[in-house]
């Protein structure tokens, strides 16, 4: 009996990539995230949905400690990545962010060439041994972000000169080039046309075979299409978290239902 | 009427115009302010402006033009024989002005009646004693020619002033009446005031530009005189700076330019890395508390007068360097002859420029969007990697601009080099030698007894103009670089 439960537990913890326990976030005096508990599984796409300003981006930024860069932001509670507390003093946030990559809500390409934008991460982390390997990584990443065909003839052009949607895909390419274990995507498709959106969704689906992906989205259809788990945030609270099918067809909380059916937002 | 009272009168008239304009506007709308095209106060301003602006402008022009006019008229009246051997028309004219002023004062204090003053003759009274009594000291007895000229001078100024009062008053009243009559409920007073504001702003902007043009023109004029007296090939291509007030000077800018550039180079070598690193620390690493404390401190450093830095060079840095490199110094070498050297001035000037470079760079680094840093940090880059590979390249054009601005300040700096660099013009690569710069030579050529007709003095203008062109070029280049690369992030 005892052995059985132990076995169950280890299997369980192996499956869970990130576990958040009683996370609270304050910006100065305002309480942005309230007692959030969530478990993000490995090789799964988790969608964060909720009305604007409910704290999705804030919570996402906690997962790779990007909130450290905001002076007034304080994070309380535990966030475990592979069972290790990422807010522990021994953890190097720089190392952490290499493992937990991020695509930001607003596209932010560097004022460098398209090539250098994508090669930035691999260069910093020494992922390529020579130019040929680096070229390969760059091409593969750009292909995965569905932008290769548009930029392959002008890799030396500045990344800031692309259109908004192209910039966003460039940022996705840049993030996948470092081969993170978890990819956090904050509304990656908000500036994309339906074709590019479909390609990015395809990429997300492909990434799922190896990584864990967390995606913030305002599109219910997108959440339903790409994710296996969905978390619904409202006013800083995690209202409901469960399998996507269940959240969309049979939500437990009335707030979730009204949001999904378009009554609060 | 004295000018003061005239201006006071104009102001009073404008105030009355403001009130009158308002009232009339309200009256034309039969008390219904909503019917007016503009708010009542605009009608008031309209009348006040019409009364005040043309008349005060006329007053200003008159005040500037009248003395010039009278001067030429009166100096034409003085016969050539009346100018003593050792004197000049300028000196005689200054005597004339003093006598005229003395007569005015005597009348004011009741020592002379206006009639007596007008008719006084050099022989009849002891005018010199009278002048002494009212506090105007004269070197010699008043000459009859000077006296009659002085009387003419008084006459002309009196008439001129009367005419001025009349013209100004007429303009003011005319403007008042014209504007007042124009008021009607559909009259667009608001637009008139808008145009007046625009004119005021344009006037302010053009004043600054005109002054610059004036400065350049006067320098150009004197420089032309200089090149009439001295060969330009020697100035630009000679190798020696040896002014000699008895003639036969060699006046080449090259040794001075060498000293200027050498000292500026050392200054930048100090200021750019230190200033830049300080800026990076302050904008990227320092906590809010440190920043709030350190930034003002650096800015105080920028407010220290350069003469104080000069003293620091003279009393502290120079002797310290001499103790190291001089005769019997700690290093046992004898590379430095005195306390003044290129290195002394360069180091101190570098210190002076640190806050300049750091505060400009700090602004530029802060202008790089936070999203750029987030992008880099989010990929697992460290802070210094982010600064080096993302923030710096993004801020580089601005920083280059800041460095060029610092360079142009270094080139134009005077006090530190006067006190720290020495006064010997020569070509030498040794930073421990004394050298001198363009600015210090301008000062030394123009101080003391100067005669603005000799090339030794006029060379200062040619030097100044060269310096001006040099720094202007640097500033333009700096602005160009900053502008061209700025758009990248918008
Ligand atoms: N840098 C910040 N400083 C202060 N308050 C912040 C900051 N960032 C976010 N907040 C606050 O935290 C709350 C949650 O913001 P957050 O950006 O996480 O919302 P969101 O769910 O991502 O919204 P959206 O869907 O519009 O992106 C908001 O009330 C916001 O005002
Ligand atoms: Mg957001």
pLDDT tens per residue, range B159-181? 999 999 999 999 999 999 999 99
pLDDT value for A1: 41
Ligand 1 atom with the shortest distance to the CA of A233: 21
CA–CA separation, B79 and B92 (whole Å): 11
Q: Give the count of domains, chain B.
A: 2
Domain that holds residue A85: 13-260
* pLDDT tens by residue, B42-60: 999 999 999 999 999 999 9
Domain that holds residue B430: 236-489
Residue in chain B nearest A118 by alpha carbon:
B379
Is A67 a pocket residue for ligand 1 (Cβ < 6 Å)?
no
Residue A194 lies in a domain: yes
CA of A220 to the centre of ligand 2 (A): 15
Residue B445 lies in a domain: yes
For the sheet with A84-85, list strands across it: A84-85, A73-81, A16-27, A30-41, A237-243, A229-234, A45-49, A212-216, A182-186, A100-103
Q: Which neighbouring-strand residues pair with B411?
A: none
Residue A130 lies in a domain: yes
Q: What is the mean pLDDT of chain A?
A: 89
- In terms of domains, do B266 and B348 share one? yes
CA of A52 to the centre of ligand 1 (A): 8
Residue A1 lies in a domain: no
Q: Give the count of domains, chain A.
A: 1
Q: Identify all chain B residues contacting A99, using CB atoms and an 8 Å cutoff.
A: 380
Asked if A32 reaches chain B (Cβ–Cβ under 8 Å), the answer is no
- Residue of the CA atom closest to atom 4 of ligand 1: A27
Shortest CB distance from B371 goes to which of A96, A104, A120? A104
- In terms of domains, do B240 and B161 share one? no
* pLDDT tens by residue, B194-205: 999 999 999 999
**Residue A209 belongs to a domain with what CATH number?**
3.40.50.300
pLDDT value for B51: 93
pLDDT at A7 over 90: no
pLDDT value for B415: 87
Nearest to A144 by CA among A223, A191, A209: A209
**Residue B346 belongs to a domain with what CATH number?**
1.10.3720.10
Q: What is the DSSP letter of B357?
A: H
The alpha carbon torsion through B58, B62, B64, B68 (nearest 10 deg) reads 150
Least confident residue range of A3-7, A158-162, B377-381: A3-7
Instruction: Pick the more confident residue, A203 or B55.
Output: B55
Instruction: Pick the more confident residue, A13 or B250.
Output: B250
Q: What is the mean pLDDT of chain B?
A: 87
* pLDDT tens by residue, B77-115: 877 777 777 667 777 788 888 888 888 888 888 777 778
- In terms of domains, do B97 and B241 share one? no
Among the bound ligands, name the one nearest to the CA of residue A52. Answer: 1
Residue B223 lies in a domain: no
Residue A102 lies in a domain: yes
- In terms of domains, do B470 and B402 share one? yes
Long-range contacts of B330-337 (CB under 8 A, 24+ apart): B335/B430, B335/B432, B336/B432, B337/B433, B337/B434
Banded model confidence at residue A265, pLDDT cuts 50, 70, 90 = low
pLDDT at B193 over 80: yes
- In terms of domains, do B241 and B133 share one? no
Nearest to B381 by CA among A242, A49, A174: A174
pLDDT at B490 over 70: no
Task: Give phi and psi for B253, each to the nearest 5.
Answer: -80, -20
pLDDT value for B102: 84
pLDDT value for B483: 79
Terminal-to-terminal C-alpha distance of chain B: 61
CA of B423 to the centre of ligand 2 (A): 65
**Apex A7 CA angle, A5 and A11, nearest 5:** 115
pLDDT value for B247: 73
- Residue of the CA atom closest to atom 18 of ligand 1: A55
Using the Cα atoms of residue B169, residue B175, residue B178 and residue B183 in order, give the sign of their dihedral.
negative
Name every residue whose Cβ is closer than 8 Å to that of residue B89 and which is 6 or more positions away in sequence: B75, B78, B83
Instruction: Pick the more confident residue, B452 or B262.
Output: B262
Residue A7 lies in a domain: no
Using the Cα atoms of residue B106, residue B110, residue B116 and residue B121 in order, give the sign of their dihedral.
negative
Which contiguous run of DSSP H or E holds residue A20? strand A16-27
**Apex B190 CA angle, B185 and B191, nearest 5:** 110
pLDDT value for B489: 52
Instruction: Pick the more confident residue, A18 or B425.
Output: A18
CA–CA separation, B490 and B45 (whole Å): 42
pLDDT at B479 over 80: yes
Residue B261 lies in a domain: yes
pLDDT at B5 over 80: yes
Q: What is the best residue among A24, A25, A26, A27 to mutate for testing ligand 1's pocket, by most ligand atoms within 8 Å of CB?
A: A27
Banded model confidence at residue B351, pLDDT cuts 50, 70, 90 = very high
This complex has an ipTM of 0.87
Q: Identify all chain A residues contacting B384, using CB atoms and an 8 Å cutoff.
A: none
The answer to whether B380 contacts A108, with C-beta atoms less than 8 Å apart, is no
- In terms of domains, do B288 and B427 share one? yes
Instruction: Pick the more confident residue, B245 or B57.
Output: B57
Domain boundary among B123, B153, B187: B187
Banded model confidence at residue A178, pLDDT cuts 50, 70, 90 = very high
Banded model confidence at residue B246, pLDDT cuts 50, 70, 90 = confident
Banded model confidence at residue B147, pLDDT cuts 50, 70, 90 = confident
CA–CA separation, A39 and A231 (whole Å): 10
Q: Give the burial string for B29-59 (b: 16+ CB within 10 Å, else e).
A: beeeeeebbbebebbbbbbbbbbbbbbbebb
Banded model confidence at residue A11, pLDDT cuts 50, 70, 90 = very low
CA–CA separation, B333 and B432 (whole Å): 12
Banded model confidence at residue B123, pLDDT cuts 50, 70, 90 = low
- In terms of domains, do B310 and B421 share one? yes
pLDDT value for A3: 46
> If you count residue pairs, one on A and one on B, with CB atoms under 8 Å apart, how many are there?
72
pLDDT at A12 over 70: no
Banded model confidence at residue A10, pLDDT cuts 50, 70, 90 = very low
pLDDT value for B137: 75
Per the rule left: phi > 0, alpha: psi between -120 and 50, beta: everything else, B280 is alpha
Least confident residue range of A71-80, B292-301, B310-319: B292-301
Residue A4 lies in a domain: no
pLDDT value for A8: 42
The answer to whether B370 contacts A106, with C-beta atoms less than 8 Å apart, is no
CA–CA separation, B342 and B430 (whole Å): 8
Task: Give phi and psi for B195, each to the nearest 5.
Answer: -65, -35
Q: Alpha helices of B313-341 — where are they, by DSSP H?
A: 318-325
Residue A6 lies in a domain: no
Shortest CB distance from B371 goes to which of A97, A108, A174? A108
Banded model confidence at residue A85, pLDDT cuts 50, 70, 90 = very high
The mean pLDDT value for A217-222 works out to: 92
Residue B226 lies in a domain: no
pLDDT at A141 over 90: yes
pLDDT value for B340: 85
Long-range contacts of B5-11 (CB under 8 A, 24+ apart): B6/B59, B6/B164, B6/B165, B6/B168, B6/B169, B7/B56, B7/B59, B9/B169, B9/B172, B10/B51, B10/B52, B10/B55, B10/B56, B10/B59, B10/B168, B10/B172, B11/B52
pLDDT at A95 over 80: yes
- Residue of the CA atom closest to atom 24 of ligand 1: A52
Nearest to A102 by CA among A3, A244, A211: A211
Taking the CA of residue B390 and the nearest CA in chain A, the distance in Å comes to 7
**Apex B126 CA angle, B122 and B129, nearest 5:** 130
Residue B99: half-sphere exposure toward Cβ, Cα within 13 Å: 30
* pLDDT tens by residue, B340-349: 889 999 999 9
- In terms of domains, do B150 and B278 share one? no
- In terms of domains, do B382 and B478 share one? yes
- In terms of domains, do B156 and B278 share one? no
Q: Alpha helices of chain A — where are they, by DSSP H?
A: 2-15, 56-62, 93-99, 114-125, 131-144, 148-151, 164-177, 194-207, 220-226, 244-249, 254-260
Structure tokens at B65: 């033009």
pLDDT value for B11: 94
Share of chain B above pLDDT 70, in %: 96
Residue A209 lies in a domain: yes
pLDDT value for A79: 93
Nearest to A219 by CA among A197, A241, A234: A197
Q: What is the DSSP letter of B387?
A: I
| B332 CA to centre of own chain | 48
């Amino acid at each position: 009996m005892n052995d059985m439960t132990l076995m169950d537990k280890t299997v369980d913890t192996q499956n869970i990539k990130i576990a958040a326990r009683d996370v609270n976030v304050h910006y100065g005096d305002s309480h942005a995230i309230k007692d959030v508990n969530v478990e993000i599984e490995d090789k799964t796409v988790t969608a964060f949905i909720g009305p604007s300003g409910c704290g999705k981006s804030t919570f996402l930024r906690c997962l790779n400690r990007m909130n450290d860069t905001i002076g007034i932001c304080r994070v309380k509670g535990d966030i475990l990545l592979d069972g290790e507390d990422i807010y522990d003093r021994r953890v190097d946030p720089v190392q952490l962010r290499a493992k937990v990559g991020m695509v930001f809500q607003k596209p932010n390409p560097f004022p460098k060439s398209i090539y250098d934008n994508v090669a930035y991460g691999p260069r910093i982390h020494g992922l390529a041994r020579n130019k040929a390997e680096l070229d390969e990584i760059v091409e593969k990443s750009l292909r995965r972000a569905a932008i290769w065909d548009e930029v392959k003839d002008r890799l030396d052009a500045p990344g800031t000169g692309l259109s908004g949607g192209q910039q966003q895909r460039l940022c996705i390419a840049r993030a996948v080039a470092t081969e993170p274990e978890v990819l956090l995507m904050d509304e990656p498709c908000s500036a994309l046309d339906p074709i590019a959106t479909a390609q990015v969704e395809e990429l997300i689906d492909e990434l799922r075979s190896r990584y864990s992906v967390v995606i913030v989205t305002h599109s219910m259809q997108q959440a339903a299409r790409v994710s296996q788990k969905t978390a619904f945030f409202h006013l800083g609270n995690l209202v409901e978290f469960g399998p996507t099918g269940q959240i969309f067809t049979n939500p437990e909380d009335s707030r979730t239902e009204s949001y999904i059916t378009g009554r609060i937002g | 009427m004295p000018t003061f009272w005239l201006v006071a009168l104009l102001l009073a008239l404008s105030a009355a115009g403001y009130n009158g304009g308002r009232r009339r506007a309200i009256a034309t709308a039969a008390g219904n302010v909503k019917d007016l095209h503009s708010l009542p106060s605009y009608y008031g301003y309209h009348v006040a402006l019409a009364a005040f602006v043309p008349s005060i402008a006329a007053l200003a022009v008159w005040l500037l033009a009248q003395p010039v006019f009278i001067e030429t008229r009166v100096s034409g009246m003085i016969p050539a024989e009346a100018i003593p051997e050792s004197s000049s028309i300028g000196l005689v004219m200054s005597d004339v002005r003093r006598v005229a002023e003395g007569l005015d004062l005597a009348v004011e204090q009741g020592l002379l009646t206006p009639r007596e003053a007008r008719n006084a003759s050099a022989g009849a009274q002891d005018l010199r004693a009278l002048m002494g009594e009212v506090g105007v000291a004269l070197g010699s007895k008043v000459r009859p020619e000077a006296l009659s000229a002085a009387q003419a001078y008084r006459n002309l100024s009196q008439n001129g002033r009367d005419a001025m009062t009349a013209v100004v008053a007429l303009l003011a009243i005319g403007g008042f009446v014209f504007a007042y009559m124009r008021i009607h409920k559909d009259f667009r007073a608001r637009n008139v005031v808008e145009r007046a504001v625009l004119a005021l702003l344009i006037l302010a902007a053009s004043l600054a530009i005109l002054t610059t043009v004036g400065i350049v023109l006067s320098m150009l004029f004197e420089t032309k005189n200089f090149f009439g007296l001295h060969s330009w090939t020697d100035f630009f291509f000679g190798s020696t700076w040896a002014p000699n007030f008895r003639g036969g000077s060699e006046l080449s800018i090259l040794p001075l330019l060498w000293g200027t550039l050498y000292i500026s180079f050392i200054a930048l070598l100090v200021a750019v890395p230190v200033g830049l690193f300080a800026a990076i620390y302050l904008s990227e690493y320092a906590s809010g508390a440190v920043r709030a404390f350190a930034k003002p401190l650096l800015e105080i450093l920028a407010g220290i007068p350069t003469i104080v830095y000069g003293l620091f060079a003279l009393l502290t840095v120079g002797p310290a360097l001499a103790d190291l490199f001089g005769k019997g110094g700690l290093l046992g070498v004898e590379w430095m002859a005195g306390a003044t050297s290129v290195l002394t001035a360069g180091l101190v000037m570098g210190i002076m420029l640190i806050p300049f470079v750091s505060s400009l760079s700090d602004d530029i680094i802060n202008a790089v969007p936070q999203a750029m840093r987030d992008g880099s940090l989010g990929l697992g880059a460290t802070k210094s990697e982010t600064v080096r590979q993302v923030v710096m390249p993004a801020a580089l054009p601005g920083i280059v601009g800041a460095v060029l601005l610092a360079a142009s300040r270094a080139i134009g700096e005077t006090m530190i080099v006067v006190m720290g660099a020495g006064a010997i013009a020569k070509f030498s690569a040794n930073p421990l030698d004394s050298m001198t710069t363009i600015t210090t030579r301008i000062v030394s050529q123009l101080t003391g007894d100067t005669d603005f007709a000799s090339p030794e003095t006029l060379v200062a203008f040619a030097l100044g103009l060269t310096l001006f062109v040099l720094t202007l070029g640097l500033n333009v280049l700096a602005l160009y670089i900053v502008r061209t690369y700025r758009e990248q992030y918008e």
